Amino acid sequence: MAPDGTTRAIMVAFGANAGIAAAKFAGYLVTGSSAMLAESVHSLADSVNELLLMVGKRRARRSPDTLHQFGYGRSRYFYSFVVALMVFALGAVFALYEGYRKLTHPEPLTAPAVAIAILAVAAVLDGYSLRTVLTQAEGLRDSANWWQFIRNSRTPEPPVVLLEDSAALLGLGFAFVGVILTTVTGNPLWDALGTFGIGALLGGIAAILIVETHSLLIGEGATSKQCNTIRSALERDGRVDSVSDMRTQYLAPDELLVAAKVMFGPDMELGAAADAIKNAEARVREAVPTVQVVYIQPDVEHR
């Protein structure tokens, strides 16, 4: 089976991060730069994160059973939440610790040209990975800007990879500035400050990911646009007077549950009401393809 867009973005990000992590660590061994070490751990954590996202997608494909009757789609949300914690634990905390260690025990850099060359190559690879996820996410974000896409996307992997790759490029910038200023001034303080910058950056990214993936994990409803579309589809039949109540929830990124109470006139017969409900379910699924489960409860207006 050919990989879908999100899977391809994850695979590209994994390949780039694994290669970059090895190159950065080699650069650290040559130069002794704490910023390079922090970036090595950052890229290693990102590589592990891509594997976790793939595990989540695989586990989400399991068939429903008696214990999980709506399936395992939320596994993708759970593993995305684990990724957010990994960014914080293996990225931010380690970088801040390494910055503190370098600040209290400064060491000179050796062969800074090696570090600069590795950072340049890493920037190219991370840029390619970021370009890939931007291309794949373009069709998902509709008319929203990128920040709105990160906040509102019900598909967790593209925002996670997007933030990871963006943080990677910004982190490379901190490392580059730290190495350059340390080389020019001979003061390793700049390398330590660059490492602190990487730690703070990763901490901020982790905080955003934790908040957003936690919200997905406990259950988010349809977007405002989708709710309006669903309500319009329900009311399109002249036999439906109104929709008195409607609840939605994403069971998985591509599986939306809709429960609604529709009002019929007092003269509506049972057979006609059943036919109207059946047609309404079909209209909802056609209007919003991610709707997989629909429960419609009829109600009658009393005069």
pLDDT in tens, 172-229: 999 999 999 999 998 989 989 999 998 999 899 989 999 999 999 999 999 999 999 9
Residues 152 and 293 in one domain: no
Q: What is the reported pLDDT for 110?
A: 83
Residues 170 and 291 in one domain: no
Q: What is the reported pLDDT for 289?
A: 93
pLDDT at 33 over 70: yes
Residues 149 and 289 in one domain: no
Q: What is the reported pLDDT for 303?
A: 53
- Dihedral angle at the C-alpha atoms of 108, 113, 115, 116, nearest 10 degrees? 130
What sign results for the dihedral spanned by CA atoms 1, 152, 252, 222? Answer: negative
What is the pLDDT averaged over residues 25-30?
Answer: 88
Residues 37 and 92 in one domain: yes
Give the integer Cα–Cα distance in Å for 22 and 56.
Answer: 25
Residues 14 and 51 in one domain: yes
Q: What is the reported pLDDT for 70?
A: 92
Q: pLDDT confidence of 1, banded at 50, 70, 90? A: very low
Tens of pLDDT, residues 91-133: 888 889 888 988 888 888 888 888 889 889 889 988 988 998 8
Q: For a pLDDT cut of 90, what percent of the chain falls above it?
A: 41
What is the pLDDT averaged over residues 134-148?
Answer: 85
In total, how many domains does the chain have?
2
What is the pLDDT averaged over residues 31-58?
Answer: 87
- Dihedral angle at the C-alpha atoms of 46, 48, 49, 51, nearest 10 degrees? 130
Q: What is the reported pLDDT for 54?
A: 92
Which of 176, 201, 218 marks a domain boundary? 218
Residues 262 and 198 in one domain: no
Q: Which pTM was predicted?
A: 0.83
Phi–psi pair at 193, nearest 5 degrees: -65, -40
Burial (CB count <10 Å: 0-12, 13-18, 19+), residue 268:
middle
Q: Are 283 and 296 in contact (CB under 8 A)?
A: no
Q: What is the reported pLDDT for 247?
A: 95
Strands 255-264 and 291-300 turn out to be parallel
Residues 175 and 214 in one domain: yes
Tens of pLDDT, residues 238-247: 888 889 899 9
Amino acid at 222: A
pLDDT at 3 over 60: no
Q: Both tokens of residue 15?
A: 């390949």
Residues 185 and 273 in one domain: no
Q: What is the reported pLDDT for 302?
A: 56
Q: Both tokens of residue 10?
A: 């994850």
Q: For a pLDDT cut of 70, what percent of the chain falls above it?
A: 97
Burial (CB count <10 Å: 0-12, 13-18, 19+), residue 271:
exposed
Return the residue matching tokens 């494909």. Answer: 61
Which of 156, 188, 218 marks a domain boundary? 218
Residues 98 and 140 in one domain: yes
Give the integer Cα–Cα distance in Å for 279 and 8.
Answer: 37
Residues 117 and 150 in one domain: yes
Q: Are 136 and 9 in contact (CB under 8 A)?
A: yes
Q: What is the reported pLDDT for 87?
A: 79
Residues 228 and 162 in one domain: no
CATH number of the domain encompassing residue 79: 1.20.1510.10
Q: Are 276 and 242 in contact (CB under 8 A)?
A: no
Which of 218, 236, 256 marks a domain boundary? 218
Residues 135 and 68 in one domain: yes
Higher pLDDT, 226 or 299: 226
What's the mean per-residue pLDDT of the chain?
88
User: Domain containing 63: what range?
Assistant: 5-218
Give the integer Cα–Cα distance in Å for 277 and 256.
Answer: 18
CATH number of the domain encompassing residue 265: 3.30.70.1350
Non-local CB neighbours of 232 within 8 Å, separated by 6+ positions: 287
HEC readout, 219-233 = CCCCCHHHHHHHHHH
pLDDT at 301 over 80: no
